Amino acid sequence: MDGSPRLLDELRSLPDLDRLIAAIGARNMTPGWIKREKPILWHEMRSEFVPAHWRYAEAKAAMQAAGRLIGTDLAERRNFVMRNPIPGNDMATLRTLVCAYQSIMPGEKARSHRHAPHALRVILESKGSYSTVQGEKTPMESGDIVLTPGWHWHGHGHDGSEQAYWFDGLDVPLTHLLEPMFYEEHPEGWEKVDTVTEKSPMRFAWADTLGALEQARADNAGHFGATIELPAPTMPTITLKVHKWPTGWKNRAYRHVANTVYVVMQGSGTSRIGDANFDWRFGDTIAAPAWLRIEHQASADTVMFSMSDENMMKWAHYYRIEALA
């Protein structure tokens, strides 16, 4: 019997270290002093993810093809997931975040569902599409940012005449890591609409965002430029910001402990993430793993959306930021 006096005496009297290691290994324990392929602790953060760039023009062309080739009966969400190009990864954009480009055709309705992960949409091109979250129907027009917090019923549809396109961002990889994944389809297929409104905590309209940016000030360190943070208290794992960078603006290089995804809402420019250099324009997505060098330069007046796990890192007392030469 495990824990019997005889077995305990045998453990106490093991004659050498190899036999001790084998004995505790049989009990699913390992010595803390041995060398491991992946150490328990190391000197400085290093992400397994790499900088990456996805071109909206290419994704849009592919979504146009998908609009012809597959309907919502086979693809409830007609989207393309942005997979970070590291070995063994088939979904995550960064360690805690996943992103996708999504499209809907005129006259379509995507069925309602809910899931534990928090989600958001940056509407790139749309006139006449809408979102329904917890029974509240709001527009999804170009430039809008729409929230779908975890375990909120949500679906969307399109009453306009042209194919609509947007960016999706979720914390699915974080949910996988922590394991509280839950998912449920709406029992009636489509959630009943209780309220129709243009003003909602779930929608940041493009005009309102531009107005807020006019009042925004740049950070004193010169890292981020004029920035607003969008309030999303029901989605504490995702930090939402919008930055305004005038033509010629260049930031002071930095690195910080936050996995960050950028979406170009307006303008063009270049970014250096780690050792990678990216030229970007409207609709493009850039992934910046935590603790890599970040430099941006705007070649035209730019509005840049960013989503990250910054506030979660701050809550956990992990966050740090460092200016770079």
Concatenating the DSSP letter of every residue in 157-189 gives EE-SSS-EEEEEEE-HHHHHHH----EEE-TTS
Is the pLDDT at 165 greater than 70? The verdict is yes
What residue numbers bound the domain in which 37 lies?
Answer: 1-43
| pLDDT in the model for residue 3 | 76
- Sign of the Cα pseudo-torsion (83, 158, 66, 115, in order): positive
Final residue belonging to a domain, choices 204, 227, 260: 204
For residue 90, the Cα-to-chain-centroid distance in whole angstroms is: 15
Model pTM score: 0.95
- Mean pLDDT along residues 209-233: 97
| 293 shares a domain with 181 | no
- Total number of residues shown for the chain: 325
Instruction: Report CA torsion sign: 121, 122, 124, 129.
Output: positive
pLDDT tens readout for residues 289-310: 999 999 999 999 999 999 999 9
DSSP 45-77: ---S---EEE-HHHHHHHHHHHHHH--TTT-SS
Kindly state whether residues 185 and 240 are assigned to the same domain. Answer: no
Query: Residues 78-116: pLDDT tens digits?
Result: 899 999 999 999 999 999 999 999 999 999 988 999 999
172 with 222, same domain: the answer is no
In the predicted structure, residue 234 carries a pLDDT above the cut 90: yes
Residue range 218-229: mean pLDDT, rounded = 97
pLDDT confidence band for 67 (50 / 70 / 90): confident
CA 292/CA 300 separation, integer angstroms: 25
Instruction: Check pLDDT > 80 for residue 74.
Output: no
Residues 290 and 165 in one domain: no
Assess whether pLDDT exceeds 90 at residue 75. no
What pLDDT, on the 0 to 100 scale, is given for residue 245? Answer: 98
Give the residue among 266, 272, 109, 100 at the shortest CA–CA distance from 172: 100
pLDDT at 55 over 80: yes
Q: How high is the pLDDT of residue 68?
A: 83
Is the model's pLDDT at 128 over the cut of 80? yes
**Structure token pair of residue 253:** 């290089």
Considering the domain architecture, whether residues 176 and 238 belong to the same structural domain is answered as: no
Q: Does one domain contain both 178 and 225? A: no
61 and 200 assigned to the same domain: yes
In a shared domain, residues 191 and 304: no
In this prediction, residue 203 carries a pLDDT of 98
Same domain, 270 and 180: no
Domain CATH code at residue 115: 2.60.120.10
CA distance 324 to 275: 14
Place 136 in a pLDDT band, splitting at 50, 70 and 90.
very high
My answer on whether 301 and 194 are in the same domain is no
283 in the same domain as 142: no
Q: How confident is the model at residue 72, as a pLDDT?
A: 66
192 pLDDT more than 80: yes
Spatial separation of the C-alpha atoms in residues 63 and 163, rounded to whole Å? 9
Mean pLDDT across the chain, nearest whole number?
Answer: 95
Task: Tell how many helices (H) and how many strands (E) occur in the chain.
Answer: 6, 23
pLDDT higher than threshold 70 for residue 76: no
Percent of the chain with pLDDT over 90: 94
| Residues 259/97, Cβ–Cβ less than 8 Å | yes
- 217 and 315 assigned to the same domain: yes
How many other C-beta atoms lie within 10 A of the C-beta of residue 167? 28
Number of domain units in the chain: 3
User: Can you read off the two tokens belonging to residue 150?
Assistant: 């975890």
